[in-house]
Amino acid sequence: MKAQEVYCLRDTDIYHGLCPRKALQTNKNIVETSFRQGHMFYTDSQRVTDIYIIKSGEVELYKLQNGKKIVLETLFPGDIFGNFSGNLAGSHYARASRKTQVCKTPTKEFLKLVQRFPEITLNLLTELAKKTQYYEEKIAALSSSAKDQLWHELKNLSQKNKQSVLGKIFDIPLRISHQKLAEKTGLNRVTVTKLMKELKDEQKISVDEKTKIIKLR
pLDDT band at 211 (very low <50, low <70, confident <90, very high): confident
- pTM for this model (two decimals): 0.71
User: For residue 139, what pLDDT is reported?
Assistant: 74
What is the per-residue pLDDT for 60?
A: 93
Long-range residue pairs from 195-204, CB within 8 A, at least 24 positions apart, any chain: 195/146, 195/147, 195/150, 196/150, 198/147, 199/147, 199/150, 199/151, 199/154, 204/151
Q: Domain spanning 144-216: which CATH class is it, in words? A: mainly alpha
Nearest-angstrom CA–CA distance, 182 and 139:
16
Which pLDDT does position 199 carry in this prediction?
93
pLDDT grade for 1, boundaries at 50, 70 and 90? very low
Q: What is the mean pLDDT of the chain?
A: 81
Range of 88-97, 121-130, 138-147, 175-184 with top mean pLDDT: 175-184
- CATH classification (class only), 3-127: mainly beta
**What is the C-alpha separation between 129 and 124, in angstroms, rounded?**
8
| Short-list 26, 73, 33, CA closest to 55 | 33
Cβ atoms 153, 125 nearer than 8 A:
no
pLDDT of residue 22 exceeding 70: no
Quick check: 216 pLDDT over 60?
A: yes
Q: What average pLDDT does this structure show over 61-74?
A: 84
pLDDT surpassing 80 at residue 191:
yes
pLDDT reading at 37 higher than 90: yes
Query: Which residues on adjacent β-strands are paired with residue 52?
Result: 81, 104
Contact at 8 Å (CB) between 120 and 113? yes
Predicted confidence at residue 178, as pLDDT, reads 92
Which residue ranges make up each domain of the chain? 3-127, 144-216
pLDDT tens, 43-66? 988 888 898 989 889 999 998 877
Query: CA Rg, the chain, in Å?
Result: 18
Say what the pLDDT of residue 11 is.
61
**pLDDT at residue 114 in the model:** 79
